[in-house]
Structure 1
Amino acid sequence: MKKEIKIALIEDDENLRFLVSHRLQAEGYAVTEAGDGDSAEELIMAENPDIVLLDWMLPGKQGADVCKGVRERGFTNLVIMMTAKAQDVDKIDAYSFGVSDYVTKPFNMDVLVAIIENKVKFSINNEKSEVSKFGDMEHHPNTHSLLKKGRKIELTILENRILLYFLKNINKVINRDELMMVVWGYNSDVNTRTLDMHIVRLRKKIEENPDRPQYLQTVRGVGYKFVVE
């Protein structure tokens, strides 16, 4: 199945682009490349790749503008931003441009491949559209948005990851450590307070009464459970 997965790699550092491209092709992906923002947007629209690996800092158009541009032109597949600044990630502009996920540089190739394999497994092979419905809401993970009674609510990258994981595990108790591993990844030193803060923010977006949540319920001493009747 993997053979049919096409990845557009947009990176201006030629050495890094060569290394990443070489590794992805060795893993069986079809790779198409661009080194600047202007040609990147045209490449993405012409090739319609399953996944775009997009550098945040590019000559010509910036990565954020490329992402915004292709989203406005109707591209709905996964866009994974490569950024050297971890602190950029949860800023509002990172997700309002329609970024699906991110990886921080310098990255370990094995980690990058694992992230992509995970995306292929969950997002591409299983559920092409991956839109989940609960109550009067629809979650569109690739564009980080929630439609509530037809109104669009933006989610941050981390809120998006959290919600996506809950929607894959409806009515199951998820402990905090598992959730932190899924959301922040391999060697995360995030504490549970940070996680709880993101949960509080997410509740404000999805619950009628965030203080008495209907969906995202706390399981005392363990973690959380996403309840859909």
Structure 2
Amino acid sequence: MTKNKITALLAEDEETLAQIIKESLETRDFKVFHCHNGQEAIDSFYEFKPDVMILDVMMPVKDGYSVAAEIRKTDKHIPIIFLSAKSQTHDVIDGFKSGGNDYLKKPFSMEELIIRIRALLYRNELMQEDTIFKIGKYNFSRVKQELVFQNTSQKLTHRESELLYCLYQNKNRIIERSIILILLWGTEDFFTTRSMDVFITKLRKKLDQDDSIEIINIRNQGYKLLCP
């Protein structure tokens, strides 16, 4: 995302759970708009244009499925995650048919919700047109998988390109190791962790012509791309 904060629209009528979700997301640098029913969620969507919607299925006035179906009439791309205690196969199918992108069964961990949100936002970004990103004195093209420094081009592998893009989207902020692994490798274990460390080392070498750029390892947390 190009904005400093990811904006999330949360529609959940259970006040305690809503407060937990809202506070957890806000500590991860999200901006959260909380709605108490389905109609309020629709109205808030058109007013605030959030980056992601988190919808409880069972809500007053309009349920989550109805909200998603309404939103999909005008916006085909915004990621929508359903929250529900209902987990039968037909419930999940109904969720996807109404326009949802993911379905999370209650109770759930906040870490899982956040990882799923970031994964959806990341996949959504991949569908956007290519843009040239400025990383210090470098120009970076994710689609072309290319770094250009003073008219000298370096080709990146697909994995290098996606890892750099992930770091860039969170530049000057810590991005958790687990989030990167889930987004790019699909799993978090010893082997994928070692693989990521190797790719980080490769990226550092390819960015070493600009002293203002640094990829630092935050022990037991993750990585941070420091750049102007």
Q: Shorter-chain-normalised TM-score: which range?
A: 0.5 to 0.7
* Contact 2:95–2:103 (Cα < 8 Å) also in 1: no
AA of the residue aligned to 1:72: K
Paired position in structure 1 for 2:44: 43
Q: How far 1:74 moved relative to its partner?
A: 3.3
CA distance in 1, matches of 2:14, 2:129: 32
Give the 3-state SS of the residue equivalent to 1:67 in structure 2: helix
| Structure 1 consecutive aligned stretches of length 4 or more whose deviation exceeds 6 Å | none
Give the 3-state SS of the residue equivalent to 2:8 in structure 1: strand
Number of aligned positions between the proteins: 135
Gaps of 5+ in 2: 131-161, 163-181, 189-228
**Cα deviation 1:149-184 (Å, max 9, x = unaligned):** xxxxxxxxxxxxxxxxxxx9xxxxxxxxx9xx96xx
**Cα deviation 1:92-146 (Å, max 9, x = unaligned):** 422221111111111111111121222233323x44379xxxxxxxxxxxxxxxx
CA distance in 2, matches of 1:47, 1:53: 14
Q: How far 1:52 moved relative to its partner?
A: 0.2
Q: Percent identity?
A: 27
- Does the alignment pair 1:63 with 2:56? no
CA distance in 2, matches of 1:118, 1:81: 15
Paired position in structure 1 for 2:114: 113
Paired position in structure 2 for 1:148: none
Paired position in structure 2 for 1:54: 55
Give the 3-state SS of the residue equivalent to 2:4 in structure 1: helix
**Cα deviation 1:178-228 (Å, max 9, x = unaligned):** 9xx96xx99xxxxxxxxxxxxxxxxxxxxxxxxxxxxxxxxxxxxxxxxxx
AA of the residue aligned to 1:16: L
CA distance in 2, matches of 1:103, 1:45: 24
38-47 or 55-64, larger mean C-alpha shift: 38-47
* Contact 1:11–1:17 (Cα < 8 Å) also in 2: yes
Paired position in structure 1 for 2:128: 128
Instruction: Give the TM-score normalised by structure 1.
Output: 0.52
Give the 3-state SS of the residue equivalent to 1:54 in structure 2: strand
- Does the alignment pair 1:5 with 2:3? no
Q: How far 1:60 moved relative to its partner?
A: 0.7
CA distance in 1, matches of 2:119, 2:14: 25
Gaps of 5+ in 1: 131-167, 169-177, 187-229
AA of the residue aligned to 2:128: K
AA of the residue aligned to 1:10: A
**Cα deviation 1:8-44 (Å, max 9, x = unaligned):** 0110001111100000000011111101011111111
Paired position in structure 2 for 1:14: 15
Paired position in structure 2 for 1:193: none
* Contact 1:8–1:44 (Cα < 8 Å) also in 2: yes
CA distance in 1, matches of 2:15, 2:91: 28
Paired position in structure 2 for 1:97: 98
CA distance in 1, matches of 2:9, 2:31: 9
* Contact 1:48–1:75 (Cα < 8 Å) also in 2: no
Instruction: Give the TM-score normalised by structure 2.
Output: 0.52
AA of the residue aligned to 1:52: M
* Contact 2:83–2:105 (Cα < 8 Å) also in 1: yes
CA distance in 2, matches of 1:80, 1:60: 19
Distance 1:91 1:34, change over 3 A: closer
Paired position in structure 1 for 2:215: none
Give the 3-state SS of the residue equivalent to 1:123 in structure 2: helix
AA of the residue aligned to 1:104: K
CA distance in 2, matches of 1:5, 1:114: 13
CA distance in 2, matches of 1:25, 1:88: 32
Pairwise CA RMSD of aligned residues? Answer: 2.8
CA distance in 2, matches of 1:9, 1:16: 11
